[in-house]
C-alpha cells in the first residue's frame, strides 16, 4: 500500500510541493532575501490583481475551459473611468460604485455574445480586449491621471502607507496582525473540529485523524509565520483584506451554492446539465458577468496601488490570471479546478517573479521562465492523469 499512497500524495499535492521547493530555491539563491518581511508584503500587494482576476477566470474556465482575454483591458478601462471621475471631483464612493457597475455591464455585454449568440469566448473576449483598451485611451485621452484621494488609496491598498492600523499599539511588532493571525488559526481549527464531530455523529466517512492533524498544523504554522513576517514589517496590507474577501466569498460560492455546482456541471457535461433542467446559457452568462465585476475590482486595486491611471495598465493581466488557474490545477476542458488551487497557482507565479527580480535576472528571461513553468505545470497534469488510466 505504501507505494500507491506515496504516489497519490504527490499527485494531490504536486503544486504545493513545487511551491515549497521554489521558495527554498529562492531562499538559497537570494540568501534569504525573499523571506524578508518587506518582500512578503510586496508579494501580496503586487499580486493582489492576480488573485482577484484568477478567481474570476476560474469560474469561466470551469464552464468548459473558456477563458476571458479582455480582463486586462477591462481593468484599465474601469480604472480609467474611476480615475477621471475622481479627477473631476466626484465622490470616491460614487466612483467606486460606477467602476463596479461598469465591470458588470462589460461582463453582461460579453456574456450576452458568448451565452446567447454563441460566439466562441475566445473571439468575443478578444474583441473586448481590443475595444476596451481603445476605450481606456479615449477616456484618458492618452494621458496619465493621478489620484488625489488619500482615502481611496488607503482603502484599496495603494501607496506607501496602506496597512490596517495597529489598534493594540505593539512595539516593534504589529500586534493587530499577530492577533488576527491567531484568530484565523483558531477559527480554522474550530471549523475542522465541528465538521469532524458532525461527520462522526452522522457516521460519514472521515479523513484519518493523523493526516488531518498534520495538515491543520502545517496550515496553521504557515498562517502564523506569514502573520509574524507581516507584523515585523508594517502589519496587514489592506490589499490582503480584499484578496481574502474575494477568496473566501468565491471559495464558498464554488463549493456550497447551487450556482457553484452548476459551473462544475456545465463544464463537466453541458448536455447532461441542460437535460437536468438547468439553464446553461444563464450559467455561462453569469460566469462572464462575474468576471467583469472582478476585473473592475482588480482595476480599483491597480489604480490605487499605482496612484495613477494610464492607458497601458493591465496589459498581460489576462495571461497572469489564466496561468495561475492552470498552474493551480484547473482543467483546460472545464469542470475541474478549485479556489485553493488558484491561490497556490497565483502564489507560485508571484514567488517566481519576485525571486527572479531580487536575483536581478533580466525581465525578458523572467518571461521565458514563467512560460516554461506554465507549460511544465499543465504537461505534468496531463501526464499524471494519463498514468492514472
Partner 1 sequence: MAKILLEMKNITKTFPGVKALDNVNLKVEEGEIHALVGENGAGKSTLMNVLSGIYPYGTYEGDIVYNGEVCQFNKIKDSEEKGIVIIHQELALVPYMSIGENMFLGNERGKSAAIDWNETYGEADKYLKMVGLSESSKVLVKDIGTGKQQLVEIAKALAKHAKLLILDEPTSSLNEKDSQALLDLMLKFKKEGMTSIIISHKLNEVAYVADKITVIRDGSTIETMDKHTTEISEDRIIKGMVGREITDRFPKRHDVKIGDVNMEVKNWTVHHPLYPERKVCDNVSIKVRKGEVIGVSGLMGAGRTELAMSIFGQSYGTNISGQLFLDGKEVQLKNVKQAIKNKLAYVTEDRKGNGLVLTNPIKINTTLANLDSISPHKIIDKDKEYQVAEEYRKKLKTKCSTVEQNVGNLSGGNQQKVLLAKWMFADPDVLILDEPTRGIDVGAKYEIYCIINDLVAAGKSVVMISSELPEVLGMSDRIYVMNEGRIAGELSAEEASQEKIMSIIVNSGKGA
Q: Which stretch binds partner 1 (CB under 8 A): 79-87, 176-184, 312-320, 331-339?
A: 331-339
**What distances in angstroms separate CA 308 from CA 65, 226, 285, 378, one per listed residue?**
34, 29, 32, 36
With contacts defined by CB under 8 A, how many residues of the chain interact with partner 1?
A: 26
Say which residues have a Cβ less than 8 Å from residue 90's Cβ, sequence separation at least 6. Answer: 98
Measured from the CB atom, the residue of 191 and 272 that comes closer to partner 1 is: 272
d(CA 372, CA 50): 19
d(CA 158, CA 156): 6
Tell me how far, at minimum, the Cβ of 44 lies from partner 1, in Å: 30
Tell me how far, at minimum, the Cβ of 241 lies from partner 1, in Å: 24
**What distances in angstroms separate CA 310 from CA 84, 98, 126, 173, 307, one per listed residue?**
11, 18, 21, 36, 10
Measured from the CB atom, the residue of 129 and 266 that comes closer to partner 1 is: 266
Tell me how far, at minimum, the Cβ of 334 lies from partner 1, in Å: 9
Residue 332 interacts with partner 1 (CB under 8 A)? no
Tell me how far, at minimum, the Cβ of 1 lies from partner 1, in Å: 10
d(CA 271, CA 290): 23
Q: Which residues pair with 163 in a beta bridge?
A: 237
Out of 171, 208, 258, 363, the residue judged to bind partner 1 by CB under 8 A: 258
Residue 204 interacts with partner 1 (CB under 8 A)? yes
d(CA 389, CA 385): 7
Residue matched to cell numbers 494610464? 310
Measured from the CB atom, the residue of 18 and 378 that comes closer to partner 1 is: 378
d(CA 277, CA 258): 13
Tell me how far, at minimum, the Cβ of 195 lies from partner 1, in Å: 10
d(CA 234, CA 265): 44
Measured from the CB atom, the residue of 91 and 195 that comes closer to partner 1 is: 195
Measured from the CB atom, the residue of 183 and 207 that comes closer to partner 1 is: 207
Q: Which stretch binds partner 1 (CB under 8 A): 113-121, 181-189, 253-261, 354-362?
A: 253-261
Residue 386 interacts with partner 1 (CB under 8 A)? no
Tell me how far, at minimum, the Cβ of 262 lies from partner 1, in Å: 8
Task: Lay out the site mask for partner 1 across 267-286 (x = CB under 8 A, - = otherwise).
Answer: -xx-xxxxxxxxx-------
Per-residue b or e along 197-236, where b marks 16 or more CB atoms closer than 10 Å to that residue's CB: eeeeeeeeeeeeeeeeeeeeeeebeebbebbbbbbbbbbb
Say which residues have a Cβ less than 8 Å from residue 345's Cβ, sequence separation at least 6. Answer: 15, 54, 323, 324, 325, 326, 327, 328, 329, 377
Residue 365 interacts with partner 1 (CB under 8 A)? no
By C-alpha distance, which of 103, 111, 130, 164 is closest to 302?
103
Rg over CA atoms, the chain = 21
Out of 171, 256, 360, 364, the residue judged to bind partner 1 by CB under 8 A: 256
Q: Which stretch binds partner 1 (CB under 8 A): 65-73, 177-185, 254-262, 368-376?
A: 254-262
Tell me how far, at minimum, the Cβ of 274 lies from partner 1, in Å: 7
Measured from the CB atom, the residue of 144 and 255 that comes closer to partner 1 is: 255
d(CA 243, CA 12): 25
Residue 11 interacts with partner 1 (CB under 8 A)? no
Q: Which stretch binds partner 1 (CB under 8 A): 150-158, 213-221, 260-268, 352-360?
A: 260-268
d(CA 290, CA 108): 9
Residue 2 interacts with partner 1 (CB under 8 A)? no
Give yes or no for a contact between 352 and 25, defined as CB atoms under 8 angstroms apart. Answer: no
Q: Which stretch binds partner 1 (CB under 8 A): 83-91, 261-269, 301-309, 319-327?
A: 261-269
Residue 205 interacts with partner 1 (CB under 8 A)? yes
Per-residue b or e along 137-148, where b marks 16 or more CB atoms closer than 10 Å to that residue's CB: bebbeeeebebe
Tell me how far, at minimum, the Cβ of 187 lies from partner 1, in Å: 19
Contacts with partner 1, residue ranges (CB under 8 A): 4, 198, 202, 204-205, 256-259, 261, 264-265, 268-269, 271-279, 331, 335-336
Amino acid at each position: 500500500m505504501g507505494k500507491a499512497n506515496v504516489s497519490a500524495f504527490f499527485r494531490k499535492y504536486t503544486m504545493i510541493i513545487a511551491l515549497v521547493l521554489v521558495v527554498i530555491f529562492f531562499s538559497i539563491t537570494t540568501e534569504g532575501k525573499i523571506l524578508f518581511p518587506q518582500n512578503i508584503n510586496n508579494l501580496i500587494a503586487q499580486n493582489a490583481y492576480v488573485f482577484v482576476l484568477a478567481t474570476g477566470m476560474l469560474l469561466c474556465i470551469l464552464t468548459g475551459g473558456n477563458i476571458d482575454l479582455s480582463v486586462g483591458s477591462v481593468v484599465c478601462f474601469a480604472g480609467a473611468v474611476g480615475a477621471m471621475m475622481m479627477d473631476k471631483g466626484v465622490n470616491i464612493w460614487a466612483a467606486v460604485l460606477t467602476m463596479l457597475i461598469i465591470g458588470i455591464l462589460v461582463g453582461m455585454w460579453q456574456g450576452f455574445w458568448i451565452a446567447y449568440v454563441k460566439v466562441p469566448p475566445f473571439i468575443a473576449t478578444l474583441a473586448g480586449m481590443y475595444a476596451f483598451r481603445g476605450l481606456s485611451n479615449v477616456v484618458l485621452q492618452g494621458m496619465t491621471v493621478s489620484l488625489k484621494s488619500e482615502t481611496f488609496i488607503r482603502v484599496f491598498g495603494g501607496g506607501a502607507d496602506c496597512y490596517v492600523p495597529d489598534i493594540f499599539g505593539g512595539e516593534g511588532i504589529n500586534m493587530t496582525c499577530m492577533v488576527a493571525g491567531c484568530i484565523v488559526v483558531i477559527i480554522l481549527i474550530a471549523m475542522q473540529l465541528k465538521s469532524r464531530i458532525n461527520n462522526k455523529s452522522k457516521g460519514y466517512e472521515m479523513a484519518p485523524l493523523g493526516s488531518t492533524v498534520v495538515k491543520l498544523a502545517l496550515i496553521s504554522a504557515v498562517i502564523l509565520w506569514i502573520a509574524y513576517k507581516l507584523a515585523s514589517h508594517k502589519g496587514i496590507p489592506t490589499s490582503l483584506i480584499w484578496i481574502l474577501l474575494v477568496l473566501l466569498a468565491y471559495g464558498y460560492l464554488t463549493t456550497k451554492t447551487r450556482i457553484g455546482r452548476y459551473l462544475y456541471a456545465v463544464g463537466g457535461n453541458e448536455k447532461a446539465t441542460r437535460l437536468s433542467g438547468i439553464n446553461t446559457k444563464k450559467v455561462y452568462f453569469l460566469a462572464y458577468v462575474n468576471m467583469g465585476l472582478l476585473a473592475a475590482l482588480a482595476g480599483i486595486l491597480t489604480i490605487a496601488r499605482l496612484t495613477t491611471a494610464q492607458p497601458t495598465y493591465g496589459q498581460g493581466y489576462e495571461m497572469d490570471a489564466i496561468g495561475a488557474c492552470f498552474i493551480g490545477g484547473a482543467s483546460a476542458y472545464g469542470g475541474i479546478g478549485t479556489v485553493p488551487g488558484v491561490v497556490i497557482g497565483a502564489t507560485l507565479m508571484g514567488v517566481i517573479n519576485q525571486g527572479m527580480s531580487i536575483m536581478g535576472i533580466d525581465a525578458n528571461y523572467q518571461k521565458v521562465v514563467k512560460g516554461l513553468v506554465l507549460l511544465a505545470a499543465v504537461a505534468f497534469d496531463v501526464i499524471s492523469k494519463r498514468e492514472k488510466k
